[in-house]
Amino acid sequence: MSLSTRDSTYDAGPSILRDVWGLTGVAIVIVILRIFAKARIGKFGADDLLMAFALCTAIVGSIMITLAVHYGFGQEVSTLRDIDVSKVILHDYLAQTFGLAGGAIGRVSFVVFIIGLLVQKSSQRIVLWVLISLQVAVNLLFIIIIFVQCPGHESAIWDDTGKKKCWDLHVQAYYGYFQGTFNAATDLGLATFSTYIFWNLNLKLRIKIGLVALLGLGIFAMVAAIIKTVQTRVLATSDNDPTTATVTYDRWLFIETYLVIITTSIPSIRSLFRSMKSRRLNNQKSYELSSRYVGSMHTTSRTRRRDSSIDGKGIMNASEGNLSNEVFARMESNIETPQSSHSRESVIIVDTKCSA
């Protein structure tokens, strides 16, 4: 696709396309690896379907921003010749819509993953399901505001016709501050929750740190969400130069969205690399680590066995590669914090040569 005549002194179009499509490519690779890793061990689930949907939604947003640039987005409107500015604004709004939706769905996918992986207490499940509802509601309302801000004159959003009947642009900007702050707080909350759960398991320190680091990668998305939220102020003045006002805002919106998709998918692909290492290190020295389980032991002849010589204890033989499969593929979805008084102890034999 050729771009429109781009003879403006200021032209941010090509740079935003490089950023957006660079992240799009990385996200596609990571999600494909995620799906392969989960399908390989028979644990492809609802969270993976949601993440694939989030990626597809974000890709549509990338296409919309590309079309916006094609029509002149990124150049000062006063320097454009023979350009239909309404098309620029329309595709800019569509890009924002799909970008916002992709980030929200990606966060919902991660919460579903966390619920299946770590949560046993009903109170924690309720809190996380409420968080899912709020994530959908808060982001959906922002999208609705974008398209109903000119009641009865929808085309006025990108056309001057009926513009006087539109809401003040500050409405969109103020709600954008709230939406961005909520998303950043969600990323921080999920990282903190994952850290709290794993830190209270009886695992070796280096294993804890590794697992916490993987599940806490959403902090990077939080930083992008904060920067995007600061840029939300431009929505209140976007009419002044509609083809350049939201360039930085859009860039950080897509950085945030793709970081959500990438960072929350990385924990699921760890099993691919750990399983490859475990095949080479299956004869290394092992140590015993204690962990706690609730409910029945779902035994498999390949990864665990019961040892009758230890009363009341289940023995699970696993390398850290298999531990990764167990934890991150939710083969041990009944891990619980050691504070539970009605849990019973088992021993995980973990290969110390594998890094967390």
- Cα–Cα separations (whole angstroms), residue 285 to 277, 301, 352: 14, 21, 7
Rg from Cα positions in the chain: 24
Length of the chain: 356
Among 237, 269, 301, the domain-final residue is 269
Q: Which two tokens stand for residue 241?
A: 């130069």
Among 229, 245, 269, the domain-final residue is 269
84 phi and psi angles, rounded to 5 deg: -85, 100
Do residues 167 and 315 both lie within one domain?
Answer: no
Mean pLDDT of the chain: 77
CB atoms inside a 10 Å sphere around CB 28: 16
Do residues 335 and 219 both lie within one domain?
Answer: no
Specify the number of domains making up the chain.
Answer: 2
Do residues 202 and 295 both lie within one domain?
Answer: no
Q: CATH number for the domain including 30?
A: 1.20.1070
- Which residue carries 């902090």 as its tokens? 219
Of the pLDDT bands very low, low, confident and very high (cuts 50, 70, 90), residue 81 is low
Q: Which two tokens stand for residue 334?
A: 């009944």
Within a domain: residue 173? yes
Do residues 234 and 285 both lie within one domain?
Answer: no
pLDDT for the residue numbered 266: 92
Of the pLDDT bands very low, low, confident and very high (cuts 50, 70, 90), residue 181 is very high
In the predicted structure, residue 196 carries a pLDDT above the cut 90: no
Within a domain: residue 8? no
Among 249, 269, 289, the domain-final residue is 269
Tell me the per-residue pLDDT of 211-253, one tens digit each, with 9 for 90 and over: 888 888 999 999 999 999 999 999 888 777 888 989 999 999 9
Within a domain: residue 2? no
Tell me the per-residue pLDDT of 260-313, one tens digit each, with 9 for 90 and over: 999 999 988 877 876 555 555 554 433 333 333 333 334 444 444 444 333 333
pLDDT for the residue numbered 312: 36
Do residues 319 and 189 both lie within one domain?
Answer: no
In the predicted structure, residue 158 carries a pLDDT above the cut 80: no
Decide: 183 and 225 in contact? Cβ < 8 Å: yes
Do residues 178 and 240 both lie within one domain?
Answer: yes
User: Is pLDDT larger for residue 175 or for residue 158?
Assistant: 175
Within a domain: residue 240? yes
pLDDT for the residue numbered 332: 34
Percent of the chain with pLDDT over 70: 69
Within a domain: residue 1? no
Do residues 261 and 213 both lie within one domain?
Answer: yes
Structural domain that includes position 308: 277-351
Do residues 72 and 194 both lie within one domain?
Answer: yes
In terms of C-beta density within 10 A (0-12 exposed, 13-18 middle, 19 or more buried), how is residue 213 classed?
middle
Do residues 302 and 183 both lie within one domain?
Answer: no
Tell me the per-residue pLDDT of 34-53, one tens digit each, with 9 for 90 and over: 999 999 888 899 999 999 99
Do residues 250 and 291 both lie within one domain?
Answer: no
